Amino acid sequence: MTRKAHEESHLALVRRARRMNRILAETYPDAHCELDFANPLELLVATILSAQCTDKRVNMVTPALFAKYRTAEEFAAADRTELEEMIRSTGFFRAKANSILGMAQRICDHYGGEVPHTLKELVTLPGVGRKTANVVLGNAFGVPGITVDTHFGRLTRRFGWTKELDPVKVEHAIAKLIPKAEWTMLSHRLIWHGRRICQARRPACGVCPLAALCPAYGEGPTDEATAIKLVKSGPFS
């Protein structure tokens, strides 16, 4: 059984969340974006392709893609049929091709061919929402951002950090708990933890370094022998 929920002051929540973040930092010292990229444009394209697709699959597709299209101008001028075929295996390839072509054209028309580096500008690009924008800001430009993907949202609710379901509301709630300088790395750590230990159906509670601080302890097996069999290693979705 999970631990019984109890009232927690905002100050206590802040302290618990920051302590959990410190433990995650010690647990995943090498946490990073698992999409391969060499510049902001490549990360932007890779993140668009990663929707409903594994990072592993995206990383199989992008080497040939980035070898053929090196600039926003080249992506904007790409033959749609050829582009769709190159990204077909990532799924939803027609919609993703629309986003990539539209994104590249807008970058050329409004930003001199360079990927903009503010949230306000990035979200004006076709196919780019706050999640994608924060991935690019945090990992290509060093601007702190909270990336609320499926893992991040699920874990923050499981940890009792927020009850919000809307990604923007989750982002704002967590921003009140964790120092801004930590936002990008927190995103990586929670995503890594969600992929490796704190999985959706059967979290490996018995080997979780956050067990003592997690109100959801017990949702998964608590004995070490069973839990350790649930732990996964990359590459991940």
Indicate the pLDDT class of residue 1, thresholds 50, 70 and 90: very low
pLDDT at 169: 97
What pLDDT, in 10s, does the model give residues 158-200? Answer: 999 999 999 999 999 999 999 999 999 999 999 999 999 999 9
Task: Give start and end residues of each alpha helix (H) in the chain.
Answer: 10-27, 40-49, 55-68, 72-76, 80-87, 93-110, 119-122, 130-140, 150-158, 167-175, 183-196, 224-227
For 141, the token pair is 């430009």
pTM, to two decimals:
0.89
Q: Residue 90 has what pLDDT?
A: 97
Residue 7's pLDDT is 79
Q: Cα(156)–Cα(173) distance, rounded to whole angstroms?
A: 10
- Does residue 180 or residue 237 have the better pLDDT? 180
- Residue 123 per-residue DSSP state: T
Please report where in the chains the tokens 């959990």 appear, as a residue.
20
Q: How far does Cα 170 stand from its chain's mean position? A: 13
Work out the angle at residue 47's Cα, subtended by the Cα atoms of residues 91 and 52, and round it to the nearest 5 degrees.
35
Domain residue spans in the chain? 10-30+147-230, 40-140
Q: What is the pLDDT of residue 49?
A: 98
Q: How far is CA 94 from CA 45, 58, 60, 107, in A?
A: 14, 15, 18, 20
Tell me, yes or no, if the two domains 10-30+147-230 and 40-140 fold the same way: no
What is the per-residue pLDDT for 236?
43
Q: Which residues are catalytic?
A: 131, 149
Residues 6 or more apart from 166 whose CB is under 8 A from it? none
Over 80: is that where the pLDDT of 237 sits? no
- Name the average pLDDT for the chain: 94
CATH 1.10.340.30 fits 40-140, yes or no: yes
Report whether pLDDT(135) > 90: yes
Alpha-carbon distance values, 195 to 25, 37, 234 (Å): 15, 21, 8
Please count the CA atoms within 13 angstroms of the CA of 121 that sit on its side-chain side. 13
Q: Which two tokens mark 129?
A: 């929402």
Residues 6 or more apart whose CB falls under 8 angstroms from that of 78 comprise 69, 100, 101, 104
For residue 76, pLDDT beyond 70: yes
The confidence band for 233, taking pLDDT boundaries of 50, 70 and 90, is confident
Closest by CA to 95, choosing from 106, 83, 107, 105, is 83
Confidence of residue 6 (pLDDT cuts 50, 70, 90): low
Write the CATH number of the domain with boundaries 10-30+147-230: 1.10.1670.10
